[in-house]
Chain A
Amino acid sequence: MRRVAKDTKARVTLTLNGKKTTGEAESRTLLTDFLRHEIGMTGTHVGCEHGVCGCCTVLIDGVAARACLTLAQAADGRSVETVESLTGLDGKLNPLQEALRDHHALQCGFCTPGILMSFTDFLKRVPDPTVEQVKDVLGGHICRCTGYQGLIDAMMDGAKRLRS
């Protein structure tokens, strides 16, 4: 049984973007804050902190999930993938990121990491989605800049690029 008393820190070890990573977290520390403040990976953004806006979405054990609704302690022993995992070491964007840029599907970029991670999971399951399905997944994110049409176009095109 894992037990972490309040106001104390315990070691959290997870596989972060394929690499074994260790840090310390309080029992109440959110995965978002653990990634940003303890590990220093700031690609995962913090918005509403109650699961609505979607910008903190990461992959936990391969499925898209809100990092703000996950305790760092609960991520111990699991695999976590963040937006930092998408770009190659050479800085080359992946096909989904390129599609986003080509369709002007971002302005301020605050919501972008979460949207990328959601679709990284979704397009693995549904490689050839309909516009309706893309809208449904996009419904789990809030973007205040683009009006969503660019995002829909980008995800449809990104899916096509990933298929080829």
Chain B
Amino acid sequence: MKPRAFDYVRPDTVAEAVDILAEYGDDARIMAGGQSLMAILNLRMAEPKVIVDIGGHTAFKGIKVANGFLEVGASVTQNELMNWPDLAKTSPLLAKALPWVGHFQTRNRGTVCGSLSHADPSSEIPLSLATLGGEVVLRSKRGERVVAAEEFQTGMLSTSREPDEMMVAARFPIAANLKRAAFREVARRHGDFAILALAAVAETDTSVRLGIGGLADRPVATRIDASSKSAIADALGTLAWELEGSDDIHATARYRRDLLRRMGPIVIEEAISCAA
């Protein structure tokens, strides 16, 4: 289908972009790569009055390492980050997660921050940010604030971003104890939405951060006692019931819980066995 009519605006500066958001609030939507938003517009699942296009804007192009974070600007595409030469060394989890995001063709335009803003509960980038305990930088005419991943994504396709705010950057922690990482997901075909996605980071040989996507209405990250096989199995069993999951056209909640119990130990083991 075709999108409903809207005003199209391409700002030249960040100040112009936040001015428009201040004026239109909820009626405006930021578009960077458009790989989620354009599909939603074409399907008429969203009908904003104004599209603010920041795609390819040089003001948001940076990838940099600062203050213990890998900071990714709002118009950096998924493939730009994936092909960044230092990625595997700086953030092994992102290096392992990004190839699962969409397809080669959509990663060419889809942005890292766009995926976070879209906040799909089964998406790989929000899951990685949650697992690493990262944060996002939101800017409005009122100023700038930093929001932790766990407070940012509030549910299915919803975030704590205020209507006049735009995400200008995402910050992925890169501490030394976050380097032993593993990522796996199950989907009907590569590039489809994950039925279940798991990210694991071994902080020590017996303590692992596990991120779960596709089960709850948002990615959930938790610390797991990995001192024994039975401790891992107990923790995953409890988590599966707590997060519950839901049925949809791709899989039942029960199947998703079962995947967590079976795939969890594999991903945790894989993270622990990574060289430090």
Inter-chain contact A60/B42, CB cutoff 8 Å: no
Q: Is the CB of B35 within 8 A of A28?
A: no
| Cα distance, A63 to B39, chains bound together (Å) | 19
List of A residues within 8 angstroms of B102 by Cβ: 140
Interface 1/0s, chain A 67-91, versus B by CB < 8 A? 0111101100000000000000000
B4-12, B59-67, B152-160, B218-226 - interface stretch: B4-12
Q: Which of B103-111, B239-247, B254-262 contacts A (4 or more CB under 8 A)?
A: B103-111
Tell me whether A69 and B34 are in contact (CB under 8 A): yes
Does A44 belong to the interface (CB within 8 Å)? Answer: no
Interface contact B38-A65, CB-CB below 8 Å: no
Complex: A71 Cα to B41 Cα, angstroms: 11
Distance A2 CA – B31 CA, assembled complex (angstroms): 14
What mask results when residues 98 to 141 of chain B are scored 1 for a CB within 8 Å of chain A, else 0? 01001111101100000000000000000000000000000000
State which of B9, B38, B103 has its C-beta within 8 Å of the C-beta of A1. B9
Q: Is A112 an interface residue (CB 8 A)?
A: no
CB contact between B108 and one of A1, A2, A63, A136 (< 8 Å): that residue: A63
Give the residue of B5, B39, B56, B190 whose beta carbon is less than 8 angstroms from that of A51: B39
Q: Check: A64 CB closer than 8 A to any chain B CB.
A: yes
Residues of chain A with a CB closer than 8 A to B8's CB: 2-4, 27-28, 71, 73
B53 / chain A contacts, CB cutoff of 8 Å: 71, 73-74
Decide if B109 touches A6 in the complex (CB within 8 Å): no
Task: Please determine whether B39 and A140 come into contact, CB atoms closer than 8 angstroms.
Answer: no
B171 CB to closest chain A CB (Å) equals 26
When the two chains form the complex, which single residue of A3, A6, A73, A140 contacts B106, counting CB atoms closer than 8 Å?
A140
Shortest CB-to-CB span from A101 to chain B, Å, is 23
Q: Are B16 and A27 in touch, CB under 8 angstroms?
A: no
A 125-153 contacts with B by CB, 8 A: 136-137, 139-140
How many angstroms between the C-alpha atoms of A122 and B76 in the bound complex? Answer: 19
Q: Is A157 on the interface with B (CB-CB < 8 A)?
A: no
Q: Chain A contact residues (Cβ within 8 angstroms of B): what range? A: 35 or more
| Main SS at interface, chain B | loop
Complex Cα–Cα for A139 and B187 (A): 13
Q: How far is the CB of A24 from chain B (nearest CB, A)?
A: 13
Q: In the complex the two chains form, is A70's CB within 8 Å of B105's CB?
A: no
What is the minimal beta-carbon distance from B233 to any residue of chain A, in angstroms? 33
**A30 touching B34 in the complex, CB below 8 Å, given contacts A60-B109, A73-B8:** no
CB contact between B4 and one of A28, A57, A61, A139 (< 8 Å): that residue:
A28
Q: How far is the CB of A126 from chain B (nearest CB, A)?
A: 10
0/1 string, B74-103, CB within 8 A of A gives 1: 000001000000000000000000010011
Answer whether residue A98 sits at the interface, using C-beta atoms and an 8 A cutoff.
Answer: no
In the complex, residue of chain A having the shortest beta-carbon distance to the beta carbon of B99: A136
B103 shortest CB reach to chain A, Å: 3
Identity of the chain B residue whose Cβ is nearest the Cβ of A49 in the assembled complex: B42
Whether B190 and A136, one on each chain, are in contact in the complex, defined by CB atoms closer than 8 angstroms, is yes
Given contacts A1-B16, A68-B42, A69-B34, contact A27 B6 (CB under 8 A): yes
Nearest neighbor of A72 in chain B, beta-carbon distance:
B8
Is B173 close to A, CB under 8 A? no
Could you give, for residues 50-63 of chain A, a 1 whenever the CB lies within 8 Å of some chain B CB and a 0 otherwise?
11001001001101
Is B46's beta carbon under 8 Å from chain A? Answer: no
Residue from A3, A26, A69, A137 within 8 A of B104 (CB atoms):
A137
Quick one: CB contact mask for A1-39 with B, threshold 8 Å, 1 for yes? 111111100000000000000000011101001000000
Q: Give chain B residues whose Cβ lies under 8 Å from the Cβ of A139.
A: 103-104, 189-191
Query: Nearest chain B CB to A93's CB is how many angstroms away?
Result: 23
* Identity of the chain A residue whose Cβ is nearest the Cβ of B106 in the assembled complex: A51
Given the known interface contacts A1-B16, A27-B7, the answer about A70 and B43 at a Cβ–Cβ threshold of 8 Å is no
B5 touches A71 (CB 8 A): no
The reply to whether B51 and A27 form a contact with Cβ atoms under 8 Å apart is yes
Is B249 an interface position by the 8 A CB rule? no
Listed in ascending order, the chain A residues whose CB lies under 8 Å from chain B are: 1-7, 26-28, 30, 33, 49-51, 54, 57, 60-61, 63-66, 68-71, 73-74, 118, 121-122, 136-137, 139-140
5 A-B pairs with the lowest CB-CB distances in the bound complex, closest first:
A140-B103, A27-B8, A50-B39, A6-B5, A69-B38
